[in-house]
Structure 1
Amino acid sequence: MRKLIYGMNLSLDGYIAAPGGGIDWGASSDELFQWWLEQEQAVEVFLYGRMLWETMSSHWPTGDQRPGATAAEVAFARNWRDTPKVVFSSTAFEAGWNTRVVTGDAIAEIARLRAEDGGPMRVGGATLAGTAVRAGLVDEYEVVTHPVLVGGGTPFFTELAGFVELTLVETRTFPGGAALARYRRR
């Protein structure tokens, strides 16, 4: 069975995007970017909601060709293109870069993929991840909290049906004040 991970950068007040969708508020550092690269390279399948897909696909297909791209950015872009991706959307559309689109039951498809043999999957996008959390499909959470309050926007966690008990398995701080807390579901 595959492990399903939900992890993103978020503000101290719990948002993954500020009002209007802005994500440029994080305390970026080369060390944090390298850590995210290593996490992404360990993932065998990315599961995206439509909005996160649009954000990622607007930058990473050519991220390695941008002037001034660091070695880590080049590696991230190549890994992103090469890793299989599944985008969940209510409307069908054409997607490139090793991606297929699912317009049907997201929970059934995530459960099917999770039941397969293979390496970890990462779910991204608050709406899709919230659906997976409520269905009990998320095994691990990687929460990187940045030292900023954005005052609203897209929350990391959507409404839950009840408690989800977790065990803390790792903490780490990064230059600029970002802090990782990684949890496993009990």
Structure 2
Amino acid sequence: MRKLTFGMNVSLDGYIAAPGDDLGWSVPGDELFQWWSDRVGTTGTALYGRRLWETMSAHWPTADRRPDATPAQIEYARRWREMPKVVFSSAGCPVGWNARLVTGDAVAEITRLKAGDGGTMDIAGATLAAAAMRAGLIDEYVLVTHPVLVGGGTPFFTALDHWVNLTLAETRTFPGGVLLTRYETRR
């Protein structure tokens, strides 16, 4: 069975985006950016909700062709394009760059994907991750906590019907006071 990980940048008060979908507080430094790039390079399949897909696909397909692109950004863009992706959207949306669209039951499709062969899957996007959380499908949570309070916005965690017990698997500090914590779900 494939492992499903939910990992994102998060504010200290628990949000992945500030009001108005503002992500300006979570711009990674060089070391953290490289960590995210290495993670993309080892991801078997990425699962995206529509809104995050629109953000990522508006930038990364051509980011390596910008005149000011750094070597790290060029590498990330290549890895992102090559990584298999599944985009979940009930309304549909354009996909490309090694992605396919799922418009049906997200929980059923994620369950099917987990049961198949392949490497680790990463899930990204608050609404999609919330559905997987409530269904008990997430095996690992990676919080990259930035030392900022944004006061509201899109929460990392959703309301749950039951507790999810976790075991701390890793911690790491990045420059600027950013703290990575990785937890595995206890079953």
Alignment TM-score, normalising by the size of structure 1: 0.97
Matched-pair contact (CA < 8 Å) for 1:172–1:181: yes
Aligned pairs (5 A) from 1:67-146: 67-146=67-146
Aligned to 1:170: 170
Q: 1:60 to 1:27 in 2, by over 3 A?
A: closer
Q: 1:27 to 1:90 in 2, by over 3 A?
A: closer
Whole-Å separation in 1 of the counterparts to 2:5 and 2:86: 14
Q: Aligned-residue CA RMSD in angstroms?
A: 0.9
Matched-pair contact (CA < 8 Å) for 2:132–2:138: yes
Q: CA deviation at 1:75?
A: 1.0
1:31 equivalent in alignment to 2:55: no
Aligned to 2:66: 66
Whole-Å separation in 1 of the counterparts to 2:27 and 2:95: 31
Q: 1:163 to 1:106 in 2, by over 3 A?
A: same
Whole-Å separation in 2 of the counterparts to 1:8 and 1:167: 18
Q: Helix, strand or coil for the counterpart of 1:31?
A: helix
Percent of aligned pairs with the same residue? 65
Q: CA deviation at 1:83?
A: 0.9
Whole-Å separation in 1 of the counterparts to 2:90 and 2:49: 10
- Runs of 4+ aligned residues of structure 1 deviating over 3 Å after TM superposition are none
Whole-Å separation in 2 of the counterparts to 1:185 and 1:5: 10
Q: Helix, strand or coil for the counterpart of 1:7?
A: strand
Q: Helix, strand or coil for the counterpart of 1:101?
A: strand
Partner AA of 1:117 in structure 2: D
Q: CA deviation at 1:27?
A: 5.7
Gaps of 5+ in 2: none
Report how many aligned residue pairs link the two structures.
186
Gaps of 5+ in 1: none
Whole-Å separation in 2 of the counterparts to 1:56 and 1:11: 20
**More deviation in 135-144 or 63-72?**
63-72
Alignment TM-score, normalising by the size of structure 2: 0.97
Q: 1:66 to 1:27 in 2, by over 3 A?
A: closer
